[in-house]
Amino acid sequence: MKNRKTDKEHVLEKIWMMREKDSVKYDDLIDWLKKTDSVTILKDLKKEEFIHIEKDLVKLTQKGLDYSESIVRRHRLAEVLLQEILEVDDRIVSSQACEFEHILTPEVTDSICTFLGHPHKCPHGLPIPRGKCCKTFKTMIGPLVKPLSEMNIGDVAKIVFMSPKTHKRLDKLMTFGITPGAIIKLHQKNPSFVLQISETDLAIDPEIAENIYVKPVNETQ
53-72 pLDDT, tens digit per residue, is: 988 999 999 999 999 999 99
**Spatial contact of 214 and 146, defined as CB atoms under 8 Å apart:** yes
**Spatial contact of 214 and 148, defined as CB atoms under 8 Å apart:** yes
66-135 and 146-216: same fold? Answer: no
Confidence of residue 137 (pLDDT cuts 50, 70, 90): low
pLDDT for 142: 56
66-135: CATH number: 1.10.10.10
Q: Is 140's pLDDT higher than 50?
A: no
146-216: CATH number: 2.30.30.90
* Edge-to-edge order in the sheet of strand 146-147: 146-147, 212-216, 156-162, 183-188, 193-197, 200-204
Strands (E), 173-219: 183-188, 193-197, 200-204, 212-216
Q: What is the mean pLDDT of residues 201-221?
A: 80
Taking Cα atoms as reference points, which of 155, 83, 92 lies closest to residue 125?
83
Tell me which H or E stretch contains 162: strand 156-162
Enumerate the domain spans of the chain. 4-60, 66-135, 146-216
- Write the CA distances from 165 to 169, 196, 208, integer angstroms: 7, 23, 9
Alpha helices, H only, 49-89: 62-80
- Write the CA distances from 136 to 110, 133, 139, integer angstroms: 11, 5, 9
Q: Is 39's pLDDT higher than 90?
A: no
- Residue 200 forms beta bridges with which residues? 197
pLDDT tens string 164-207: 667 777 777 888 888 888 899 999 999 999 999 988 999 998 88
pLDDT for 218: 67
Q: What is the mean pLDDT of residues 104-122?
A: 86
pLDDT for 221: 45
17-21, 69-73, 104-108, 130-134: range with highest mean pLDDT:
69-73
- Write the CA distances from 216 to 107, 157, 161, 206, integer angstroms: 22, 4, 13, 19
What global pTM score does this model have?
Answer: 0.65
What single-letter amino acid sits at 106? P
Half-sphere exposure of 91 (CA within 13 A, CB side): 0
Half-sphere exposure of 190 (CA within 13 A, CB side): 2
Residues 118, 120, 123, 126, CA torsion sign = positive
- Write the CA distances from 162 to 112, 140, 148, 196, integer angstroms: 18, 25, 10, 17
